[in-house]
Amino acid sequence: MYHYDDFDRTLVAERVDEFRDQVARRLSGELSEDEFKPLRLMNGVYLQLHAYMLRIAIPYGTLSSAQLRMLGHVGRRYDRNYGHFTTRQNIQFNWIKLQDLPDAMADLAKVEMHGMQTSGNCVRNITTDQWAGVAADEIEDPRIWAEILRQHSTMHPEFSFLPRKFKIAITASTHDRAAVKVHDIGLRLHRNGAGEVGFEVLVGGGLGRTPYIGKSIKPFLHKRDLLSYIEAILRVYNQFGRRDNIYKARIKILVHELGAEAFAKEVEAEWQLIKDGALALDPAVIADVAARFSYPDYEQLEDSPATLTSALASDPQFKIWFGNAVSNHKVPGYAIVTLSLKPTGGPPGDATAEQMDAIADLADKYSFGEIRVGHEQNLVFPHVPQRDLPALWKAIDAIGVATPNLGTVSDIIACPGLDYCSLANARSIPVAEEITRRFRDHNLARDLGRLHINISGCINACGHHHVGHIGLLGVEKNDQEYYQVSIGGRADEHAELGTLLGPAVPYAEAVDVVEDLVAAYLELRARPDEIFLDTVKRVGVEPFKERVYATR
């Protein structure tokens, strides 16, 4: 956990005061909705189809139990008793009232949370691996860098009115769980030939209507240069990014139009002029930020304690969950536990206030009071003693977050879609819910192996459909909801965009198509452990296409 110091605390408090004043000016009529819009957006407040929506940042996906409890409180007090975890380590409340927003913000500030950088054409919430600090394959904790970047980008005077929103993600592991290749800037911590740790810098990745995989423009950047180099990228983008067309305004278009090499040259020229200035990071500054991260005081424990092995031997249900939800921790005797927010028939990523409270209590009991949020819209207990796994499983099963479907066909990433969003063309949530009902047999689902389905309700791609093993994109055809289907996408270190299968299918058939694709895969796979994605890679999209369109 990062702990605010007086500077961080003061800034957030001043922000709440400012927002209270802005809301008062709106309520009194001094500000029109048009004038108020940019101000509320800078605090994560959107106007959706039915109500205002508040998006709160969960920087780099780390939450304390006190913070999660406060999110539960906000849901209970100001909203309809639930919140929705997004794909970018934020949480959204969908029914909040304008006059309540300042109080909700003040409550959040008490636990060091805010809605800054969750909206608007600024640098958005910096995201990273939900297993940061505990992953066995990690080179160092990427959250230190995410926090330094969070601070540097908070209310940045030069970059608060960029051509378009700007997303940065960091990974420090060989396996990329932060989808850095589909971000405006992706940072990969790694070791160079001399053994020093620094960053590979990728730019211009992104989804939306023109998806691109990020291009590497700097193989190795020293830590001291992180802020100056990011500043140089943002400066080039702020000057030359397109502002004539909102759909061509993201940095990926600039990088594509200039070419990655020419773009890198512009950045390099700008960087040379500022790299030795005030932004060069003093090791003492880095150490100061790092020192405000607290780590658990782990016990000396053995792997595979008796309570665990006996439960595995005696309880098949526990064994199934264990195989699905528990991952290796870098400290012996501990485990990383993922909580599924994808119940059968439920909307992906939602948690009720009661669940949030209960999860916070369990985090205190079993995970040093810490919870993580991942881009797959599930929660994580990052530090669970292996001996406690049987007891923890019972407790989370009782509150409905132990569905053993992680990484399977029913662990769906979906945007809010037409049920909430004013941009959407089609619904996402009911499609996701229906898929989870069709595949409610989790044993069958696990037999299908890793299979990521992503659903977006419109071309803006908030459900990341381009990088789903199966991607569904809602489109509108003659006032009806239709879905384009693509397969073969992925968001990890081998990131690739999916291939469109053919004509869009109507709402009523969208889930049938998923079933057809799964049936085709079962026939086509070479071995039971060849996952869907690898089968697509091996045989191509044609056999899948034939299967889907043979009867349509």
Among 24, 27, 262, 285, binds other proteins (CB under 8 A): 285
Q: Are strands 370-373 and 413-414 parallel, antiparallel or unpaired?
A: unpaired
Query: What's the closest the beta carbon of residue 121 comes to other proteins, in angstroms?
Result: 7
Please report whether residue 29 would count as binding other proteins according to CB under 8 A.
no
Q: Which is nearer to other proteins, 272 or 422 (CB)?
A: 272
30 binds other proteins (CB under 8 A): yes
Residue 95: how many CA atoms within 13 Å on its side-chain side?
Answer: 10
* 323 burial level (CB within 10 Å; 0-12, 13-18, 19+): exposed
d(CA 399, CA 396): 5
β pairing state of 168-171 and 185-191: parallel
The residue (of 90 and 117) whose beta carbon lies closer to other proteins is: 117
Q: How many helices (H) and strands (E) does the chain have?
A: 18, 21
| Least distance from other proteins to the Cβ atom of residue 157, Å | 4
**φ/ψ bin of 365: left (φ > 0), alpha (ψ from -120 to 50), beta (otherwise):** alpha
Binding mask 192-231 vs other proteins (x if CB under 8 A, - otherwise)?
A: ----------------------------------------
Contact 457, 424 (CB under 8 A): yes
Q: Taking a C-beta distance cutoff of 8 angstroms, is the pair 130, 61 a contact? A: yes
Work out the number of other CB atoms within 10 angstroms of the CB of residue 320.
Answer: 14
Tell which positions 351-410 bind other proteins, by CB under 8 A.
none
Q: Where in 36-55 is the site for other proteins (CB under 8 A)?
A: 38-39
Mark 1-20 with x for binding to other proteins (rule: CB under 8 A) and - for no binding: ----xxxx-xx--x--xx--
In this structure, are residues 120 and 159 in contact, taking their beta carbons and an 8 Å threshold? no
- Cβ closer to other proteins: 158 or 196? 158
The answer to whether 243 contacts other proteins (rule: CB under 8 A) is yes
The CA–CA distances, whole Å, from 322 to 132, 308, 387 equal 21, 10, 12
Q: Which of 27, 161, 345, 538 binds other proteins (CB under 8 A)?
A: 161
| Rg of the chain, C-alpha, whole Å | 23
Residue 276 in contact with other proteins, rule: CB under 8 A: no
- Using CB under 8 A, pick the residue from 48, 216, 238, 307 that binds other proteins: 238
**Residue 210 CB neighbours (<10 A):** 14
Q: Is 239 in the site for other proteins (CB under 8 A)?
A: yes
Among 194, 278, 306, 550, binds other proteins (CB under 8 A): 278
Based on the shown chain and the rule CB under 8 A, indicate whether residue 279 belongs to the binding site for other proteins: yes
Q: Are strands 413-414 and 379-385 parallel, antiparallel or unpaired?
A: unpaired
Q: Based on CB atoms, which residue is closest to other proteins, 18 or 512?
A: 18
Per DSSP, what are the bridge partners of residue 334?
385
Closer CB to other proteins, 284 or 550, in the complex: 284
Q: For residues 14-25, b (16+ Cβ closer than 10 Å) or e, as one string?
A: ebbeebeebbee
Is residue 330 exposed (0-12), middle (13-18) or buried (19+ Cβ within 10 Å)? middle
Tell me: does residue 160 bind other proteins (CB under 8 A).
yes
Neighbours of 181 (CB within 10 A): 27
Minimal distance in Å, beta carbon 135 to other proteins? 28
Residue 511 CB, shortest distance to other proteins, in Å, is 40
Least separation, in Å, of the C-beta of 57 and other proteins? 15
DSSP H/E element including 548: helix 542-549
Footprint of other proteins on 93-132 (CB under 8 A): 121
Between CA 80 and CA 69 the distance in angstroms is 15
Q: Tell me which of 76, 77, 80, 152 binds other proteins, using CB under 8 A.
A: 152
Instruction: Work out whether 151 is an interface residue with other proteins (CB under 8 A).
Output: yes
Give 230 or 353: the residue with its C-beta nearer to other proteins.
230
Sheet with 197-203: list strands edge to edge: 127-128, 168-171, 185-191, 197-203, 215-222
Q: Are 196 and 226 in contact (CB under 8 A)?
A: no
User: Binding of other proteins at residue 154 (CB under 8 A)?
Assistant: yes
Judged by CB under 8 A, the number of residues near other proteins is 37
Minimum distance from residue 99 beta carbon to other proteins (Å): 20
Among 22, 87, 340, 405, binds other proteins (CB under 8 A): 22
Of 156 and 265, nearer to other proteins (C-beta) is 156
Site string for other proteins, 482-511 (x = CB under 8 A): ------------------------------
Q: Is 248 in the site for other proteins (CB under 8 A)?
A: no
According to DSSP, the residues that pair with 138 across neighbouring strands are 173
Q: Cβ(335)–Cβ(384) under 8 Å?
A: yes
Q: Of 179-187, 276-284, 370-378, 519-527, which part binds other proteins (CB under 8 A)?
A: 276-284
* CB distance 298 to 103 below 8 Å: no
**Residue span binding other proteins (CB under 8 A) among the ranges 95-103, 236-244, 421-429, 502-510:** 236-244
Q: Does 284 bind other proteins (CB under 8 A)?
A: yes
Residue 2, Cβ density class (10 Å: 0-12 exposed, 13-18 middle, ≥19 buried): buried
**Shortest Å distance, C-beta 345 to other proteins:** 42
Binding site for other proteins (CB under 8 A): 5-8, 10-11, 14, 17-18, 22, 30, 35, 38-39, 121, 151-152, 154-162, 235, 238-239, 243, 273, 278-279, 282, 284-285, 288
